[in-house]
Amino acid sequence: MLPAGEEAQITKLLSKYKHMNATRKEVIDVVTNYRSLTYKLQKFVFNDGSSKDLFNLQGTIPVVYKNNTYYIPICIWLMDTHPMNAPICYVKPTPTMQIKVSMYVDHNGRIYLPYLHDWQPHSSDLLSLIQIMIVVFGDFPPVYSKPKDQVAPYPTSGYIPPAGPNASSTSGGSYNLPYPTSGGSFPPYPPASGNSFGGFPPYPAPGNVMPATTSGPSSGYPPYMNYPPGAGYNSGYNPSNTSSTGTITEEHIKASLMSAVEDKIRRRLQEKVNQYQAEIDTLNRTKQELVEGSAKIDSIISRMEREQIDLQKNINILRDKEEELEKSLESLESSDGIDPDEAVTTTAPLYRQLLNAYAEEAATEDAIYYLGEALRSSVIDLETFLRHVRQLSRKQFMYRALMQKCRQKAGLAG
Q: Write out the DSSP string of 244-302.
A: TT-PPPHHHHHHHHHHHHHHHHHHHHHHHHHHHHHHHHHHHHHHHHHHHHHHHHHHHHH
User: Cα dist. 29→34, 64, 136 in Å?
Assistant: 9, 22, 21
- The whole-number pLDDT of residue 317 equals 95
- The whole-number pLDDT of residue 211 equals 35
User: Residues 215-265: pLDDT tens digits?
Assistant: 333 333 333 333 343 333 343 444 444 444 446 677 777 777 888 888 889
- The whole-number pLDDT of residue 248 equals 62
Distance, C-alpha 212 to centroid of its chain? 46
Q: How far apart are the first and last CA of the chain?
A: 87
The tally of domains found in the chain comes to 2
State the Cα–Cα distance between residues 44 and 29, nearest whole angstrom.
Answer: 23
- The whole-number pLDDT of residue 155 equals 39
User: 3-state DSSP call for residue 88?
Assistant: strand
What is the residue-averaged pLDDT of the chain?
A: 77
Q: Is residue 171 situated within a structural domain? A: no
The yes-or-no verdict on residue 42 having pLDDT over 80 is: yes
The yes-or-no verdict on residue 199 having pLDDT over 80 is: no
Global pTM exceeds 0.85? no
The yes-or-no verdict on residue 179 having pLDDT over 50 is: no
Select the more confidently predicted residue: 246 or 162.
246
- The whole-number pLDDT of residue 392 equals 93
| Domain end residue (candidates: 130, 145, 160) | 145
Radius of gyration of the chain (CA): 49
Q: What is the CATH number of the domain that holds 50?
A: 3.10.110.10
The yes-or-no verdict on residue 178 having pLDDT over 70 is: no
What's the mean pLDDT in 178-182?
42
Residues 65/177, Cβ–Cβ less than 8 Å: no
What's the mean pLDDT in 162-172?
37
Average the pLDDT over each of 9-18, 216-225, 343-352, 383-392 and give the range with the smallest value. Answer: 216-225
What's the mean pLDDT in 300-306?
95
Residues 6+ apart with CB under 8 A from 17: 23, 55, 78, 80, 81, 82
Residues 250/242, Cβ–Cβ less than 8 Å: no
State the Cα–Cα distance between residues 263 and 39, nearest whole angstrom.
Answer: 40
The yes-or-no verdict on residue 367 having pLDDT over 60 is: yes
Residue 164's pLDDT band, with cuts at 50, 70 and 90, is very low
What's the mean pLDDT in 288-299?
94
- The whole-number pLDDT of residue 186 equals 34
Residue 166's pLDDT band, with cuts at 50, 70 and 90, is very low
Q: Whole domain around residue 11: which residue ranges? A: 4-145
The yes-or-no verdict on residue 190 having pLDDT over 70 is: no
Closest by Cα among 15, 6, 11, 22 to 82: 22
- The whole-number pLDDT of residue 220 equals 36
| 57 strand-pairing partners | 39, 76
Q: Is residue 132 situated within a structural domain? A: yes
DSSP character for 61?
E
Select the more confidently predicted residue: 299 or 192.
299
The yes-or-no verdict on residue 90 having pLDDT over 90 is: yes
| Domain end residue (candidates: 129, 145, 161) | 145
Q: Is residue 17 situated within a structural domain? A: yes
Q: Is residue 213 situated within a structural domain? A: no
- The whole-number pLDDT of residue 227 equals 38
| 259 strand-pairing partners | none
Exposure letters 298-314 (e unless 16+ CB within 10 A, then b):
eeeeeeeeeeeeeeeee
Q: Is residue 283 situated within a structural domain? A: no
Q: Is residue 396 situated within a structural domain? A: yes
DSSP character for 110?
B
| Domain end residue (candidates: 125, 145, 165) | 145
Q: What is the CATH number of the domain that holds 366?
A: 1.10.287
Segment holding 72, helix H or strand E: strand 68-78
Closest by Cα among 174, 147, 20 to 92: 174
State the Cα–Cα distance between residues 195 and 249, nearest whole angstrom.
Answer: 8
Q: Is residue 386 situated within a structural domain? A: yes
State the Cα–Cα distance between residues 64 and 71, nearest whole angstrom.
Answer: 9
Select the more confidently predicted residue: 300 or 230.
300
Residues 401/360, Cβ–Cβ less than 8 Å: no
Q: Is residue 70 situated within a structural domain? A: yes
- The whole-number pLDDT of residue 284 equals 93
- The whole-number pLDDT of residue 347 equals 82
- The whole-number pLDDT of residue 170 equals 35
User: Cα dist. 176→149, 209, 248, 275 in Å?
Assistant: 19, 20, 37, 32
